[in-house]
Amino acid sequence: MLRYIGKRLLMLIPVLLGISLVVLILIDVTPGDPARMLLGAQATQEQVDALRDELGLNDPLPTRYVRFLRNILQGDFGISLMTRRPIVDEMLQRFPYTLTLVSLSIVLSILLGIPVGIYAATHQRTWKDNTAMFLALFCVSMPSFWFALLLIRLFGVQLGWLPIRGVTTWKGWVLPCVAMALGLTAVIARQMRSDLLEVVRQDYITTARAKGLSEGKVIYRHALKNAMIPVIMVIGGIFGTSLGGSLIAEVIYSIPGLGNYTLSALNNRDYPVIQSSILILSTMFAVVILLVDVIFALVDPRIRSQYVKKQKRKRGEAS
């Protein structure tokens, strides 16, 4: 298992290198000049060119890319062009907000989605199943920003129960987390229902029922464990969706997280911040996918046995 984790970690290196290169190329072809934005419209072209030379923006793309990688390996994410502060300090201030928002949203979606999926599967082809799946399809189809605006209008403006901006208290987290969790809950619920219905058709479930076990014991003791395996993969995948959705939630609810920070950098053409933020978010997503694969292998003994057999076959061929 340790060798498997080591190989997956090595595979992250070319992925992150590719992401950083693509981001730099996109930045290079994107209209806008940060030097002009910093100096203002009244600055002369000579002043703009001098600032571009000072910032290294006139260097060839390979030179800038190598310099960026060298600085990252040294733990130096650079200086923000707009605030003139170290990027790593600003990201450390904002990272807890994004992590809290994403974590709470995923936990909430798991706590809601799995029971709803189980309930729908155990009431298949009834009005309860149809209602649950209709609501899930509705939540999946609607964009998260629509839910965010709807929740603001209902609970923030009309009822006045919850704040609509900022997260200075725990109440401030309720609306953004719910807005993000609704769509994720629907995805988990639909996956849970589908997997559970597939598992309960297996022969060993029929055998368990023939032994006289109650339906509850059959579902929760035998079927649920195997049905949860694909759901784990889905939960890992929605982490990436949550990172993208957090940007929308952070902007709408004025949360000072990484998503809001990245969007502000895009508007201001703050290239060092854009590169560093996207690299950090990509690394977070890649690490979570790695953890999900490891958990998947631990939960499903078939994957462990296949990996062990593969390693034994390789050692046999080498000898």
| Alpha carbons 100 and 153: distance in angstroms, whole number | 24
What is the Cα–Cα distance from 140 to 238, expressed in whole angstroms? Answer: 12
Contacts of 27 (CB under 8 A, 6+ apart): 271, 274, 275
Position 149 scores a pLDDT of 87
Q: What is the pLDDT at residue 302? A: 58
**What domains can be seen in the chain, in order of their start residue?**
94-318 (1.10.3720.10)
Q: How far apart are CA 33 and CA 45, in angstroms?
A: 12
DSSP state of 152: I
- Sequence letter at residue 168: T
For residue 140, report the phi and psi dihedrals to the nearest 5 degrees.
-70, -35
Give me the residues of the chain with pLDDT under 50, please: 307
Q: Which tokens sit at 139?
A: 């939540």
Can you state the percent helix, strand and coil of the chain, rounding each to 5?
80, 0, 20
- What pLDDT is recorded for position 300? 62
Q: H/E element holding 252?
A: helix 224-252
The 3-class secondary structure across 187-246, one letter per residue, is HHHHHHHHHHHHHCCCHHHHHHHHCCCCHHHHHHHHHHHHHHHHHHHHHHHHHHHHHHHH
Which pLDDT score is estimated for 124?
A: 83
Residue 232 class from Cβ within 10 Å (0-12 exposed, 13-18 middle, 19+ buried)?
Answer: middle
Three-state SS string over 96-131 comes to: HHHHHHHHHHHHHHHHHHHHHHHHHHHCCCCHHHHH
Distance between CA atoms of residues 224 and 198, nearest Å: 11
Per-residue exposure over 271-301, b if at least 16 CB sit within 10 Å of its own CB, e if not: bbbbbbbbbbbbebbbebbbebbeeebeebe
Average pLDDT, the chain: 81
Instruction: Report the C-alpha gap between 163 and 168 in whole angstroms.
Output: 10
Q: Looking at residue 311, what is its pLDDT?
A: 53
In this prediction the pTM is: 0.79
Q: Taking a C-beta distance cutoff of 8 angstroms, is the pair 62, 24 a contact?
A: no
The answer to whether 57 and 38 have CB atoms below 8 angstroms apart is no
Count of helices and strands (H, E) across the chain: 14, 0
